[in-house]
Structure 1
Amino acid sequence: MDFLQTATRNLFFTGKGGVGKTSMACASAIRLADRGRRVLLVSTDPASNLDEVLATTLRSEPTAVDAVPNLWAMNIDPEQAAGEYRDRMVAPYRGVLPDAAVQSMEEQFSGSCTLEIAAFDEFAKLLGDAQATEEFDHIVFDTAPTGHTLRLLTLPSAWSGFMETNTSGTSCLGPLAGLQAQQELYKKTVEALSDGKRTTLVLVTRPEPSALAEADRTSGELRVLAVTNQHLAINGVFQATDASDPVATAMQSRCDQAIASMPSRLKKLDRTSVPLAARGLVGVDALRQLGVDRSMSDLTAPSEDHTIAHVDNAADSVAMDSLIDTLAAQGHGVIMTMGKGGVGKTTVAAGVALALAERGFPVHLSTTDPAAHVAATIAADQIDGLTVSRIDPEREIEAYREEVMRTAGAELDDQGRALLEEDLRSPCTEEIAVFRAFARAVAEGEDRFVVVDTAPTGHTILLLDSALAYHREVTRQSRQMPESVENLLPRLRDPNFTRVLIVTLPESTPVHEAAKLQDDLRRARIEPFAWVINQSLAPLEITDPVLSGRKAHEKKYIHEVLNQHADQTAIIAWQTTPPTGTNGLRELFLVSTTSG
């Protein structure tokens, strides 16, 4: 890993869920410690598995890793920090404001922005206060703040009284409102992040178009803030070692094509390529091998874990058509595919929509596919009964921004408008804007199937619920609510009208993030219908030693989904050709299994 040759004091690893940033951070920290450097490894990931990976019970303060002299590690729990922060902010209003208003405030402080800012608050104490970490030579963070959070924290008006009087109802101003006292610490933290002599920001990605596009977006956001000290790490680069294995040769081809066509901005960055690991990266010995050239003898597939070998029995059950038959039995309603970016929820949604239409049902597919490839290829084939529309997030966001600036921003001064404009660039704003388009689509489910590939999170649904409750508390006239809004939440919570498919990958981070998503949905009184494990090697015949190892490693996470999270599960095989167009989508469900 080239960035370790002249490693800066601070190393930040950032990337979307499942790309391997925790593994990369751990391997880097171990390699530096093995050189005799004193290293502190810090995770602010809510689904952190540092304890498992390092075989060490960690706390919220530095803990020595016995297997690696010179290495200390700690888990910062942003959810706990966010909860404590939320309690501090809401407590003064309990018993003063109506219960509905307090509930609305609590949900406002339960979103991803609060979590991110609380996490920033915790690691700012490590990065911005030099004395707090003076005993260490390197600080390695396996999570980095987004460009949005950094921009928000650098606006002077973020520390003014504007936030205390803001009534615009926008997404991140509330969570930020209690942090003025730490302005100087945050300023030093942002300065440290942009100082190339002290800090390197490693953009971790996979050799896949969607992951590379996300890395490019992050790179651009950070460059706007003068954080140009970036290094690209492409994790999971695959080279077939068995040319007779069609899955292996297809995977190498797709990997090579993705790297060759990566965004031009990424091509200009210094780059490290890390080979796809045959085994799970758990344990210090495995992490020491990350990125190291291996002989063929090292690539032998690991022995089977007999405690979970029964997962293979799922391959003998009915294919995913069975799940679609169950969905079709209702005759109409809404089907939502949900999951983190990069797990394939758009592709799964398109496949489900196509399958329902070919069963003779009228179907409307509402997609946010940025390139519109899925929507365009299906629409071009003019499948009977299937209509396709694309929700354009940028257009929805722009319309929402204009509306908020025209109303809430009308009476603000220049600084106030600047802060409001930045707040409207947040991920929360995109979710709210797309939610409005989503609400329009849901109403069509009364007489047809509506398949939506981007759905509101549990937090957004609860935020809407509490806002409606607060509105009723103020007006005492619920009849003023539009009928579509009144009916939206009952429809989403009706298991006979709305079916949620949680899409994940058979890997640690995607499964754990999907479990958290399910918890959020249950908070909003929505019970997922099924889980879909996408891009699995488990149903395939494989001879390549690296992929055989990956196939065996999947079992742990398939077993976890089957036995801990899902009432019923479908497993979709990794495709040798990208599942685009009607023929590709038909192939998607041919080699798949269901288990319940």
Structure 2
Amino acid sequence: MQTYQPQSTKLTHYLFFTGKGGVGKTTTASATAINLADSGKRVMLASTDPASNLQDVFDTELTNKPKEIANVPGLFVANFDPVTAAAEYRESVIGPYRGILPETAINNMAEQLSGSCTVEIASFNEFANFLTDSEVDQKFDYIIFDTAPTGHALILLQLPSAWNNYLDENDRGASCLGQLAGMDDKKAMYEKAVVTLNDPELTTLMLVTRPQKASLLEADRAAQELAAIGIKNQQLIINGTLKDPTDLPSQTIFTQQQNDLAQMPASLKELAQFEVPLRPYNVTGLDKLRLVLQSEQPKLTPQPSIKNDYPNLDVIVNDLVKSNKKIIFTMGKGGVGKTTVAVQIAKKLVAQHKTVHLATTDPADHLNLFKTDDPDITVSHIDEQQVLKDYQDEVLASAQKTMKSDDVDYIAEDLRSPCTQEIAVFRAFANIVAQDDSDVVVIDTAPTGHTLLLLDSTQSYAQEVQRTSGEVPQAIIDLLPRLQDPSQTEIVMVTLPETTPVYESMRLNDDLDRAQMAHTWWLVNQSMLATNTTNPCLQARAQNEVEWIEKVKELSNNHFAVEQWQPDFEKVLLTI
């Protein structure tokens, strides 16, 4: 397999790096951007991920406006922050009417534009602006998007067609975003976005994956779904391939990777394939970003093993049982192993005589890999299309009982807005939390950014549900008080012993403090330290872990645990 070298790879003007959370999209996109800028090209790198860590990678504060990176002439970087985007979008809609409409009308517009639907579409507008801006197009040789984890990237990339269709067919000027005045004038921009995404001469989808089964399956799903909406120019980058196994742990990893690569889906085998070998260092800072794609790497020598005497997950589960928690979330950056940890917690709770409802709010639904015949575990996931249909049917049935035909048509039109799916999914989430069929609900959440949007939106979604259906279910009324009750709810923050996941957990910690959400425990997952490996590459990675495990120990006030790396990690769900 050919090593990934941007300058010797056929690249188009627009590049989208996407894939399962934690596969190295941001690292690969950033290293590509630096490599191209160092060759004399002008490059724009933008993140569309609410949980973006570009600021950590470049060690500099970023906003949704392009910022030139010091010591990399020609490279500009931006984060599309959803909160900032939503504030700017609201003002763009409301601003022209200030001083013209009555204050009550202005307040009503502001209320309708206060929900998470607005955050989603505002983020999309920023993305579409960059994708279609002729000035940006002419200023840069390459425009690179570091996208959100696959499930949400799929939603984002399908929005141009969805909103085009909705604007074409909506003739009443209403939607869950309030007045369409802020969107209708962007119809031409949406149409241009669709054309740009579907043009293989302009756009390439760079599918980033790990050499592991679940990651490859996720890449295949993304490839097929995006090809179905016209984005067919695709390349596959396999990140983290281990070379030269020298001991049992490294041989286990090497064998697993080679077996999974040999069994990759047939459609992926048809794509141009490149690899980035596993590196022994954390790829943060310009020096490491420049180094990671180079063929010449520093020589490594074996180092003495470091003793590992950290507590494991049992300590956390024993405390959850002792404190009789009813709702347990696993949260963290994409790819840290939240799903596997959720399954492990569920199994350990059952071993202590608890019944468990195990659920996921992640659109990627990695929980579907977990199979169990244990009667004490109920497994569920949110089928987005089904809950959308159920919600639409319920609202229309209610409206038909009390409204005239024209008013029912108005409601039916409103329910076709793409944002309605977000409302339906939120209601399903509230119902899972409200269930009483088990002693404990364990919820595997979506990657951090979207989880926080979901939790922060409780009150605004309640208002939106009421506006659409005329009533707010008790599950939504009770949701926020339950989530903020430390006697009922615990959030286990899952991280890896690496720079970026720990920084992401620190931001999550601050956000949960502001939201008044209970979060005592941290879990450092997939630690190589305990394996006592003598392989130079893995040993170097293990020694790098100590700094971050100790950091978590300090941040958590000693409420932490460490779970060691497991072979065939992506397959653990099938056997645990």
Please indicate the TM-score interval, normalised by the length of the shorter structure: 0.7 to 0.9
**1:531 paired to 2:527:** no
Query: Aligned partners of 2:156 and 2:178: how far apart in 1?
Result: 13
From 471, 476, 484, the equivalent of 1:493 is: 484
Which consecutive residues of structure 1, in runs of 5 or more, have no partner in the other structure?
305-311, 586-596
The answer to whether the Cα contact below 8 Å between 1:363 and 1:449 also exists between their aligned partners in 2 is yes
Deviations 1:302-337 (A, max 9, x none): 999xxxxxxx78x43443322222111134623232
Deviations 1:550-580 (A, max 9, x none): 2233345434544446772222111135487
**1:125 paired to 2:129:** yes
1:44 Cα shift? 4.1
Provide the residue aligned with 2:299 in structure 1: 298
Q: How does 1:142-221 map to 2 (within 5 A)?
A: 142-143=146-147, 146-154=153-161, 155-159=163-167, 162=170, 165-166=173-174, 173=177, 178-221=182-225
Deviations 1:262-300 (A, max 9, x none): 3332222211111111112223332233243346x5244
The answer to whether the Cα contact below 8 Å between 1:125 and 1:185 also exists between their aligned partners in 2 is yes
1:393 maps to a residue whose letter is I
Which consecutive residues of structure 2, in runs of 5 or more, have no partner in the other structure?
401-405
Q: What SS class does the counterpart of residue 292 from structure 2 fall into?
A: coil
Identity value in percent = 33
Provide the residue aligned with 1:591 in structure 2: none
Q: What SS class does the counterpart of residue 506 from structure 1 fall into?
A: coil
Provide the residue aligned with 1:569 in structure 2: 560
Query: Aligned partners of 2:420 and 2:137: how far apart in 1?
Result: 33
Provide the residue aligned with 1:235 in structure 2: 239
The answer to whether the Cα contact below 8 Å between 1:367 and 1:375 also exists between their aligned partners in 2 is no
Query: Aligned partners of 2:119 and 2:301: how far apart in 1?
Result: 41
**1:363 paired to 2:355:** yes
The answer to whether the Cα contact below 8 Å between 2:313 and 2:523 also exists between their aligned partners in 1 is no
Q: What SS class does the counterpart of residue 207 from structure 1 fall into?
A: coil
Deviations 1:396-430 (A, max 9, x none): 6414424315635987999997985572795x367
Distance 1:529 1:209, change over 3 A: farther
Query: Aligned partners of 2:327 and 2:65: how far apart in 1?
Result: 46
How many aligned positions are there?
550
Query: Aligned partners of 1:97 and 1:472: how far apart in 2?
Result: 19
Q: What SS class does the counterpart of residue 539 from structure 1 fall into?
A: helix
1:391 Cα shift? 1.0
State the TM-score, normalizing by the size of structure 2: 0.80
Deviations 1:8-35 (A, max 9, x none): 2222222343222222122222322333
1:301 Cα shift? 7.5
The answer to whether the Cα contact below 8 Å between 1:279 and 1:302 also exists between their aligned partners in 2 is no
2:167 maps to a residue whose letter is W
Q: How does 1:575-594 map to 2 (within 5 A)?
A: 575-578=566-569, 585=576
Deviations 1:59-94 (A, max 9, x none): 655554453444444444443222322455578799
The answer to whether the Cα contact below 8 Å between 1:193 and 1:199 also exists between their aligned partners in 2 is yes
Query: Aligned partners of 1:79 and 1:531: how far apart in 2?
Result: 26
Query: Aligned partners of 1:225 and 1:418: how far apart in 2?
Result: 24
Provide the residue aligned with 2:280 in structure 1: 278
From 438, 452, 460, the equivalent of 2:432 is: 438
Query: Aligned partners of 2:236 and 2:204: how far apart in 1?
Result: 10
From 123, 137, 140, the equivalent of 1:136 is: 140
The answer to whether the Cα contact below 8 Å between 1:94 and 1:102 also exists between their aligned partners in 2 is no
**1:390 paired to 2:398:** no
State the TM-score, normalizing by the size of structure 1: 0.77
1:209 maps to a residue whose letter is K
Once the two structures are overlaid, the 10-residue window that deviates more, 542-551 or 71-80, is 71-80
Q: What SS class does the counterpart of residue 523 from structure 2 fall into?
A: strand
Provide the residue aligned with 2:42 in structure 1: 38
The answer to whether the Cα contact below 8 Å between 1:148 and 1:425 also exists between their aligned partners in 2 is no
The answer to whether the Cα contact below 8 Å between 2:325 and 2:489 also exists between their aligned partners in 1 is no
The answer to whether the Cα contact below 8 Å between 2:237 and 2:275 also exists between their aligned partners in 1 is yes
Provide the residue aligned with 1:502 in structure 2: 493
Query: Aligned partners of 1:583 and 1:393: how far apart in 2?
Result: 20
Distance 1:321 1:526, change over 3 A: same
Provide the residue aligned with 1:260 in structure 2: 262
Q: How does 1:533-548 map to 2 (within 5 A)?
A: 533-548=524-539
Q: What SS class does the counterpart of residue 179 from structure 1 fall into?
A: helix
1:468 Cα shift? 4.7
Q: How does 1:371-520 map to 2 (within 5 A)?
A: 372-376=368-372, 379=373, 382=374, 387-394=376-383, 397-405=385-393, 407-408=395-396, 420-421=415-416, 423=418, 428=422, 431-432=425-426, 434-441=428-435, 443-444=436-437, 448-454=439-445, 457-468=451-462, 487-520=478-511
Distance 1:186 1:512, change over 3 A: farther
Q: What SS class does the counterpart of residue 407 from structure 1 fall into?
A: helix
Deviations 1:78-131 (A, max 9, x none): 4322232245557879963899x89964651xx3x5445333333433331223
1:262 maps to a residue whose letter is M
Distance 1:119 1:508, change over 3 A: farther
The answer to whether the Cα contact below 8 Å between 2:68 and 2:77 also exists between their aligned partners in 1 is yes
Q: In angstroms, what is the RMSD of aligned CA positions? A: 4.3
Provide the residue aligned with 2:328 in structure 1: 335
**1:349 paired to 2:342:** yes
Deviations 1:427-486 (A, max 9, x none): x36742641551353x346xx33433348944434434445578899999xxx9776665
1:548 maps to a residue whose letter is Q
Query: Aligned partners of 2:219 and 2:139: how far apart in 1?
Result: 33
1:23 maps to a residue whose letter is T
Query: Aligned partners of 1:473 and 1:583: how far apart in 2?
Result: 43
The answer to whether the Cα contact below 8 Å between 1:90 and 1:102 also exists between their aligned partners in 2 is yes
Query: Aligned partners of 1:371 and 1:52: how far apart in 2?
Result: 29
Q: What SS class does the counterpart of residue 17 from structure 1 fall into?
A: coil
1:151 maps to a residue whose letter is Q
Provide the residue aligned with 2:541 in structure 1: 550
1:356 Cα shift? 2.7
Once the two structures are overlaid, the 10-residue window that deviates more, 255-264 or 155-164, is 155-164
The answer to whether the Cα contact below 8 Å between 2:80 and 2:123 also exists between their aligned partners in 1 is yes
